[in-house]
Structures are given as structure tokens and as C-alpha cells.
Structure 1
Amino acid sequence: MRALLVAALLAIVTPPVAAKRPVAEPAPRKGMLQGPFELHSRIYPGTVRRYWVYVPAGYDRNRPPNLLLFHDGQRAINPRGPLQLPAVLDRLIADGAIPVTLGVFVTPGNRSAHYPETLGLDNPDHRVAEYDALSDDYARMTLDELLPAVARGWRFAAEPARRAIGGTSSGAIAAWTVAWRHPEAFGNVLSFIGSYTSIGLTIGPDGLPRTPGGDTYPGLIRKSPIRSLRIFLQDGTGDLDNEHGNWFLANQQMLKSLEWANAHADAEGRGGPRYDIAHRWTGGGHSDADGGAILPDVLRWIWRDQRAAETR
């Protein structure tokens, strides 16, 4: 009886234990997305493009951050799209998973005096002429016009190992072309569903090629000196198959050519750089979705040998 009385008293005077509430993960410090700005090109007269600059939290102009330049910027920054690059950078930088990084997100050019407000997420009309051409024009526009315009407001790293350029579809081959031609400017490439196909091919009246298409790259890679480049390739097994080519086969050809170039240089005992390559073949089609799903992992891989503290 005495034991029952003690238990009853304890039940009255002992406060109930509050249930533990889950602790919410703190939101990352957010960078600021500046823009859009307009860039009129001398290299592509009569065209205009938009660009945005992501300024990371903790940006210090005395410690220039890494640089990520990404094409089709209108989609790269879309907060409801699959890429959402500003949010991805916020989280990775806050976690210390990648160095502090300045983002530049640029659209292709449009033939107009000002960038049309009505375009939204659609492609401007000069995209093929810029992104799918193998000439040096787009690289010159990027290095001689776009980056100097950005540099007037923000500093960023000069070392190619601390600069990455990327895109999806034709934006991916544009990124590859810039880095391939100018490895002294960009040492890293992010390529999602890359259009290494014949979009840029034009044929003359004699039936012979007048300008090459992106399907030329596998042969060029095999017959050219190796560049000091780190490249990540992604494509989906359900990607496009049309008059320009088969996207999945084209991306596999790119991978095989890069691997062969490395193996051939090793077999001949040649010194010099080797391509640093990784890839992910996914199950999707011609969409940014698969690339967006793995984007954080790709950025970690690109800058895996740079501790965040080293570039702060």
C-alpha cells in the first residue's frame, strides 16, 4: 500500500518529459545574385546577351574566389528549375565542401538592341551560332568581353585550376570549346547532355563540309596534344537521336577519345599533362534534370583537391 502511495505522489510532482523536437539544419548564408546586366559584343555585332553574377557570402576582393561560368544563365539561375546554381553554391560553400566561388551565368546572344523581356527561359536566336561553332569567336567574346566586364565589379581567381566553365546541351559543347582552346584560362569543364553532334556543320554547294560540327571533337582529341583539363561528362541513355546525331553515342565517343589520348601518351612514355576525367551515364533524356541531380557531387569532384580554407 505504501509503495502505491509513493508512486502516486511521484506522478503528481514529477513534470512530464518534453518530447525532443527535431533540430532544423541552419540555413546556409546566402550569396547575392546581381543582375541581369546586358553585354553588347564587338565580336558578334548586333547581338546582346544577359548575365548575372553570384557574389558568395564572405566574398573578399582581397582574396579572389574561384570562378564558375555557366551557360544558358536564364535556366541556370531559375529557382524552380533543376539546376538552381545559386542555391547549390550557397549550400556547398557554407558546408566548406567547395572553395568560395563567384558565379557568372550568361545567356547566349540575341539579335536585337536589347535582350527581349518576352524570352523568359527560351533560347535567344543567336545560340547555335555561338555555342555550336568550333571557331575561337565565342572564346574571344568570353575572355575579352564578358570576363573583363565582370572584373570591373568583382575580382576572381586567375589560375585555370580555380576556374570552371560548364553548361548543358549546346552550352556544354560551348564550355568545352572555350577550355579546349584556352586551357590557360579554364582548367575545368562541367558537361551535361553535351551536344557533341553535327549541329554546327554547314555544307557547301559542292556537298563538302564548310564549317565543322561538334562530332569532329573525338578525332581532334585523338590527334592533338593533351590539354591540362579536368572534365566531367554526363549524359542520359535516352538522349536525342536525330539528324544531327545520337547524343549518348557522341558523349561516349568523347569519353573514349579522352581515355585513349591518356593511354596512348602513357604507352609512349610521354611526359606532360593528362586529361582528368570522370563521367556519369544516367537514365534520362535531353533534360537538365539528371545533371541538376548530381551537380553538387560534380562541383565537389571538380575542386576536390582544393580545401575551402586555402582559397579564403
Structure 2
Amino acid sequence: MTIEVPYRPIPVDQSDVRYVHGPDSALQSDVPVGETIEFDWNDSAIYPGTSRKFWVHVPARYNPANPASLMVFQDGWWYLDPAGEVRGAIVLDNLMHRGDIPVTIGVFVDPGVFPDAEDPKNRNTEYDAFDDRYVSFLLNEIVPEVSKRYSIAEDPDQWGICGGSSGGNCAFTAAWLRPDKFRRVIGYLSSFAQMPHGNPYPELVPRVPRKPLRIFLQAGHRDLHWNEPEANWLAENLRVAAALAESGYDFRLVLGDGGHSPNHGGVLLPDALRWLWRSADHSHQSVGSGEATSAVL
């Protein structure tokens, strides 16, 4: 089946491009609104001394008798904020109402902070590391708290993880190291360029057997250091995408304009989720294809 995409001119000046949100990112009068519950987490064994909040969004259609899918978002409030760029709960409610994605509980996790420290932020330590501490933190501390209250599917094909910037490479690393738990991944403007020991994935991806992951990547033409030889956010995302393409992964790359902003990724969230949760009969169209589009929305 051929899908025709309407012509839209691309911007000549790429320095300050803003994408317009679609209807799936706005409250709809006919869509039941789920419930969002806030939690504090101040007793982490993996990141001792840190404090953070996380939010659980329970859809209106949730039924404890039918275990729900799970979608974990890094930078919790940024991705949950209904007035922000991503508007995660609104998007989940709209897509579930139409049956575009399964009934899904959204978990929005803030990075940790050290309340009394001169430099309280622990975000980069948690998100940029190439190790299993963060995914273990999710699996051993956060997800069990959610599972105490709500019925979550055990099938890893029903678990997804999403993040942007450092949260993007964090989401990728979590699924890469634990594909037995997370198999659907969204990474926006991922900060592979600032991983402490360098970006491991361009060399690592082709060297190991293909993992059962479905990966949606977004990169920006004018991301950080886009035309410089070192610490180039755009180039490192393209290198990861190339490795995935050459290794036959089920992935999609959307390349947009503008800089290091959550705007484009936020606008793409409905499409990203639809693509991640698409049915098996559509999968053959994308396996190993590495579809790329300018996605001027």
C-alpha cells in the first residue's frame, strides 16, 4: 500500500524551527481522562541519598483483571506536564481511547537529586552511564512499587521506555542491557555524545546478536555541536542509526530541524507510540529499513 504524504516546504533557516502539536497532544472532550498519582521516592538503595518524585498515570480503561502494558518516561514531570512539549498522559489517553495502543500505564520518573548538596543534580550520573544501575533501579525499586498497586503485564513486548537528551541514551541503554524487560524504545535527541567513556553503540551493535528491540529515534539537524568534529549530538545519533540499519533492527529514524529542544520529539510522541505498538502485519515494512523523514509537522 502506498501512503501519500502531502507536500510541505522545508524551512531554509534551520536555527529556530518550531513544530506545531497535533490533535493527539491536546485534551479532547470525548476522551476519558485517566488518573495521575504522585509518589515520593527517598530511600534508594542503588542511588543512596537521592530524592525524587515519580508519577503513575492510570488510564480510564484500566481493568485490574487485564494486566496493562507499561511505558516508562525519564525526566518525569517534563514529559508529563500538560502545558509542556511532550504531554505524555494526554497523548496516552487519546491513543488508548481510539485503540491505537493497548491499555498502558505510564510511569514518569524524575531524575534523583541530593537535597542538601551544593550540586544536587544526579541526572547525568544516572542517565549517561553505560551500566545497568539505572535499569536495575527501575526494575528493583520503581516498577515494584507500581506493581503493588496495579496489574502490569509480564510480557517484555508490552514494556516500553522513553527519554530525551540524556534520557534518550538512558532509555536505549536500559533496553539494550535488559531486553528481557524493555523491548520498545523511544530516544529523542539522545546524548550519546556525552556518555562518559564515549558512545559504545556504533561499534557494539553490529558485534552482538540482534536483540528483540523496536526502536524509534529522533535527531535534529541543528542539535548541539552539529557541525563540529567533537561531541557532535547529530553525528552520534546518525552513527547509532546506521549501526541499527546495518544490523537489521526494527527501527525508525526521524530527522527534524531546530536545535536541542524537546519540541519536535514531543510533537512526534503520538506517532512514535503508534509505530512502537503497531501490529505484526505492519512490521515487515520497517524491519531493517531505517525509515527516515524530515517530518515537517
Normalised to the residue count of structure 1, the TM-score between the two structures is: 0.77
Return the alpha-carbon distance in structure 2 between the equivalents of residues 166 and 26 of structure 1: 27
The reply on whether 1:138 has 2:124 as its aligned counterpart is: no
Q: Which residue of 2 aligns with 1:230?
A: 214
Q: Which one of 222, 225, 234 corresponds to residue 248 of structure 1?
A: 234
Residue deviations 1:182-208 (CA, integer Å, cap 9, x gap): 0000110001111111x232xxxxxxx
Return the alpha-carbon distance in structure 2 between the equivalents of residues 293 and 187 of structure 1: 22
Percent identical pairs in the alignment equals 39
Q: What secondary structure, in the 3-state scheme, does the structure 1 residue paired with 2:107 have?
A: strand
Residue deviations 1:232-273 (CA, integer Å, cap 9, x gap): 0001101001796111111110110011122xxxxxxxxxxx
Return the alpha-carbon distance in structure 2 between the equivalents of residues 192 and 247 of structure 1: 11
Decide which structure has the larger Cα Rg and report it: 1
The reply on whether 1:127 has 2:93 as its aligned counterpart is: no
Structure 1 residues 244 and 46, CA gap change in structure 2 (3 angstroms): farther
Q: What secondary structure, in the 3-state scheme, does the structure 2 residue paired with 1:156 have?
A: coil
Q: 1:98–1:300: 8 Å Cα contact kept in structure 2?
A: yes
Structure 1 residues 145 and 33, CA gap change in structure 2 (3 angstroms): same
Q: Which one of 110, 114, 118 corresponds to residue 111 of structure 1?
A: 114
The reply on whether 1:258 has 2:253 as its aligned counterpart is: no
Return the alpha-carbon distance in structure 1 between the equivalents of residues 173 and 230 of structure 2: 18
Q: Which residue of 2 aligns with 1:150?
A: 146
Structure 1 residues 69 and 39, CA gap change in structure 2 (3 angstroms): farther
Q: 2:40–2:51: 8 Å Cα contact kept in structure 1?
A: no
Q: 1:99–1:306: 8 Å Cα contact kept in structure 2?
A: no
Q: CA deviation at 1:101?
A: 0.6
What is the RMSD of the two structures over their aligned residues, measured on CA atoms? Answer: 2.0
Return the alpha-carbon distance in structure 2 between the equivalents of residues 297 and 254 of structure 1: 21
Return the alpha-carbon distance in structure 2 between the equivalents of residues 278 and 304 of structure 1: 13
Q: Which one of 61, 64, 69 corresponds to residue 61 of structure 1?
A: 64
Return the letter of the residue paired with 1:70.
Answer: F
Q: What secondary structure, in the 3-state scheme, does the structure 2 residue paired with 1:144 have?
A: helix
Q: What secondary structure, in the 3-state scheme, does the structure 2 residue paired with 1:110 have?
A: coil
Q: Which moved more, 1:144-153 or 1:172-181?
A: 144-153
Return the alpha-carbon distance in structure 2 between the equivalents of residues 139 and 26 of structure 1: 37
Q: CA deviation at 1:154?
A: 1.2
Q: How many residue pairs are counted as aligned between the two chains?
A: 251
Return the alpha-carbon distance in structure 2 between the equivalents of residues 26 and 178 of structure 1: 36
Q: Which residue of 1 aligns with 2:250?
A: 276
- Runs of 4+ off more than 4 Å: none
Q: Which moved more, 1:234-243 or 1:297-306?
A: 234-243
Question: Unmatched 5+ residue regions in structure 2?
Answer: 1-27, 282-297
- Select the structure that is richer in helix: 1
Q: CA deviation at 1:36?
A: 3.5
Structure 1 residues 306 and 157, CA gap change in structure 2 (3 angstroms): farther
Return the alpha-carbon distance in structure 2 between the equivalents of residues 294 and 179 of structure 1: 20
Return the alpha-carbon distance in structure 1 between the equivalents of residues 88 and 81 of structure 2: 8
Residue deviations 1:50-107 (CA, integer Å, cap 9, x gap): 1000000121111011111000001011111110001111111111111111000001
Return the alpha-carbon distance in structure 2 between the equivalents of residues 177 and 150 of structure 1: 22
**Residues 181-260 of structure 1: matches in 2 within 5 Å?**
181-197=177-193, 199-201=194-196, 212-213=197-198, 215-241=199-225, 245-260=231-246
Q: Which residue of 2 aligns with 1:171?
A: 167
